[in-house]
Structure 1
Amino acid sequence: MSLFPASALRPGVRKREVFGWAMYDFANSGYTTVVITAVFAAYFVGGIAGSAPWATFAWTAALAISYAIVMVTMPAIGAWSDRHGAKKRALMWSTAACVLATLSLAVTPRFSGAAGVALAMALVILSNAFYSYGESLTGAFLPELATAEGMGKVSGWGWGFGYIGGMLALGICLAYVLWSQSRGLPASHFVPVTMLITATLYGVAACVTFVLLPERARPRLQRPGQGPWAQLRSTFQEARAYRDFMWLLACTVSYQAGVAVAITLAAIYAEQVIGFVAQETMVLIVVLNLAAALGAFVFGYLQDRLGHKLSLAGTLIAWIGVCVIAASVTSKGGFWWAAALAGVSMGSSQSAGRALTGYLAPPDRAAEFFGLWTFATRLASIVGPLSYGAITWATGGNQRVAILATSVFFVGGLLLLLPIRIQRGRDAALAASGASR
């Protein structure tokens, strides 16, 4: 199979296992695309919260709370999974919880006022937290599947499958929304159905992962367990010995803050600044996902040829271009170009970052160290959107200034990428695990 040459997969890893692993990205991407970006976010602000002045803040606060929970708890969950050889078991539980919480979002239109807002916020906090656990745990399988030379390819296939899954979920939801609107049905009717569609696709597709992807790790119960706070401190203290990994975490916080702005605020910017209507916004997100899938696939292969560091740097430069274009264009046509470049940049930067994390993490502590990566990405998901909101507020609602200022996060990511020495970091990770290259 030319897509996965022998050098890309570790000895004994079958291609069906890689397909099963990639299918989890396919499964969970519908959640972020439909719930966080395109459908439920807008419905929460305009429908459940009635477009109140505090509605957008309430939405971002719910996301921030969920990210804060994940930041504190994920390293402990990762360490437990490594210690018990139970990444797959933890992944199954987190998936089931996210699917159930997403299904429960369908009942939120039945409640009104403060009760409806509180219920929706609570379910978003729960569903997004469990989604984040699953994203981290599936990433921790990457070092078990791919060789050092193949992590970019395999990670790229995962992200690429993910964006295809996101497009499928959003496409089905868009078709149902258009059908409902043509019959005069309100959002309180069709939004709950989109939640059922999203949760069902997530659960069904994830079953492919659970059937095909084995748990290769073995329990290491001699390593004592700790509480979440103690585990977080312990993991950070031990990770300081891996200086290139720590530089990568700092780099990740910076550039992922900018990526988080694109994920959580692209639809709002398109509608409020450029003048998109709801249907146009959903089509825009589909195209963005298509471009992101292409970026993840192509850059996965380029990354293994050009090197992890150079590939990630290239995607960050592209992100700076996205911010400049989005801040300057005034037409819908111009914004489509910015969205297409953003999609390619999103797929490539997320794939490159995950592959580099797997490359620099000690192989026998992959879930624990991916917990730190999740800490970094969730911290970024708080810092980025809140900074955007603060700048918008301070400038009297000028989102063009806010999106241009977002480029600072990508410039910071480039600067923090410079001190990383890839081979030095890889040697340190392998030495700690007693593994061979």
Structure 2
Amino acid sequence: MPLSEKVLSPQPHPTSPRKSEKIAWSFFDFANTAFNTLIVDLVFGTYFLRIICAHRTDATWLFGCALFFCQTLVGVLSPLLGALVDVTGKKKRILSISYIVCIVATASLAAMGEGDVWMSLAAFMAASIGYAFAENLTASFLPELASSQEIGRLSGLARALGNVGGFLSVAAIYPLMSPGFTLANSGAIRLIFLLTAAIYGAGGLPTLLFVRERGHPTQQDWKGAMESSLGRLSHTFSKLRDEPRLRLFFSAFLLYSTGASMVLAMGALYGQMQIGLAGREPVFLLLAIQTGGCLGAILFGFIEDWLGSKKTLQLIVSIWFLGMGGFYFVQEKLAFYAVCAVLGMGAGSLHAVSRAVVGILAPKNEHAEYFGLWGLFGRVAAGSGPLLFGLLSQSLHSFHTPMLAAFVFFAVSLGLLSALPKLLPQRIE
């Protein structure tokens, strides 16, 4: 069978997921974390601020607005896309399109230089949108590949593999980045965008080749599928309104994800502007975060299977809340690296456990739809955190004070999680 047919065509439903499928699925976390670490967390924001907008004073605000726009767009469209995938059974086809958009747009950033403000933002947003849709669709395979007893463990191990991808990717681009974000080194920085596109492409390919399509389409024509999707989406939002578990979880998820995105998306810039990281030091910061994330994803995946989802989430958000104290008050570089490693442990586990909870809450044959809701709230949070940080830093003329807002988000989300009913009655909650 030609490669294009193998990637895009529905494949027979196997009796049970094979181990090779689970491994192949996990590699998309490798791709996702590499993209997010290199493009969003480390390279593009600083490149945009120091090279593309070298003579502008509103670069932080523009970057925050771009993140907010693309994340909100993805968030609004994700539930509809998820419902559409569920009724058509064409999950891998739509995943493939998102995957290709991300690769092409990321590679196009290599052509952007000083003064290319709007073109670079457009390419960055296209890459981010493709990445975000692909992440949501890939996550919706999780309940099909793991039972409720192992879903937390598989999600955690995949996230750990993702953090390994982030770590190796940062190590790979280190020689290109170590001279710094200067005009003289801008050619080397541009190569990072091409390298990221290649890493993302290689990491995502096993999922497209080896994970089987298990959807059962109820509509074959796209017009009927769209009408059916809108009806199902309306039903899903009514359940979100009427079911306390869904309402409380997604409210808490929105708040703690906003706090986390504020720290992670702006962490490298914060380290440079507030702590004084320079040259190769931001690379060490990202390595510390990815190392902590790898350990956290593995550790809390097993803790969730033992302790239960609710208590595990409360523990992780508590780590974030306490870790933010260190993040805000430390000024020494080594102490800052240590705090970021702890927050990285919380970041890896927060994503993995939240994804597993959605897999538990999602009814059979509605996985993509529920992960669309996960995408909606996750993307709104991912956009709101950097936007709020940019707005506060612009208004207060400070990179330091805006981080206090994250305390509020984590504190309120802890209160909501404490009111959350049991997620897994068969486990200790």
TM over 0.5: yes
Distance in 1, matches of 2:286 and 2:421, equals 36
Structure 1 residue 203 corresponds to structure 2 residue 207: no
Could you tell me which residue of structure 2 aligns to residue 407 of structure 1? 407
Which letter maps to 1:98?
Answer: C
Pairing 1:383-394 to 2, within 5 Å after superposition: 383-394=384-395
The residue number in structure 2 matching 1:85 is: 89
Superposition pairs of residues 214-363 of structure 1, within 5 angstroms: 214-221=212-219, 224-226=225-227, 233-363=234-364
Equivalent position of 2:417 in the other structure: 417
Instruction: Please give the per-residue CA displacement for 1:186-241, whole angstroms capped at 9, x wherever unaligned.
Output: 23201211011000011112111112211112112298523998875553224334
Q: Is contact 2:87-2:228 (8 Å) kept?
A: no
More displaced stretch, 79-88 vs 251-260:
79-88
Instruction: Determine whether 1:50 maps to 2:18.
Output: no
Find 2:78's aligned residue among 61, 74, 79.
74
C-alpha offsets along residues 65-99 of structure 1, whole Å, 9 cap, x if unaligned? 11121022111111111111121221111101100
Please name the residue that 1:143 is paired with: 143
Give the counterpart letter for 1:55 in structure 2. A
How many residues were matched structurally?
A: 409
Shift of 1:301: 0.7
Q: Structure 2: how far apart are the matches of 1:187 and 1:40? A: 14
Q: What residue identity is the alignment partner of 1:323?
A: M
Q: From 33, 36, 40, give the equivalent of 2:40.
A: 36
Residue among 15, 19, 27 paired with 1:15? 19
Q: Secondary structure of the equivalent of 1:363?
A: coil
Structure 2 unmatched runs, 5+: 1-13
Counterpart-to-counterpart distance in 2, 1:343 and 1:287: 7
Partner of 1:157: 157
Aligned to 1:103: 107
Q: Return the alpha-carbon distance in structure 1 between the equivalents of residues 312 and 417 of structure 2.
A: 11
Q: Is the 1:99–1:127 contact (alpha carbons within 8 Å) kept by the matching residues of 2?
A: yes
3-state SS, counterpart of residue 362 of structure 1? coil
- Seen in structure 2, the aligned counterparts of structure 1 residues 227 and 14 have a Cα distance that, compared at 3 Å, is closer
Contact kept, 8 Å, 1:98 with 1:128, in 2: the verdict is: yes
Alignment check: 8 A CA contact 1:254 1:413 kept: yes
Instruction: State the TM-score, normalized to the length of structure 2.
Output: 0.90
* Paired residue secondary structure (1:383): helix
Note closer, same or farther for the CA distance 1:81–1:269 as it changes in structure 2 (3 Å cut): same
Alignment identity in percent? 30
**1:396 Cα deviation after fit:** 3.6
Q: Is the 8 Å Cα contact of residues 70 and 129 (structure 2) preserved in structure 1?
A: yes
Runs (4+) off by over 6 Å: 227-231
- Provide the TM-score with structure 1 as the length reference: 0.89
After superposition, the CA RMSD in angstroms is 2.2
Residue by residue over 1:381-417, the C-alpha shift from the partner in whole angstroms, topping out at 9 and shown as x without a partner, is 23222333333344441x3332233111111111111
Gaps of 5+ in 1: 1-9, 427-437
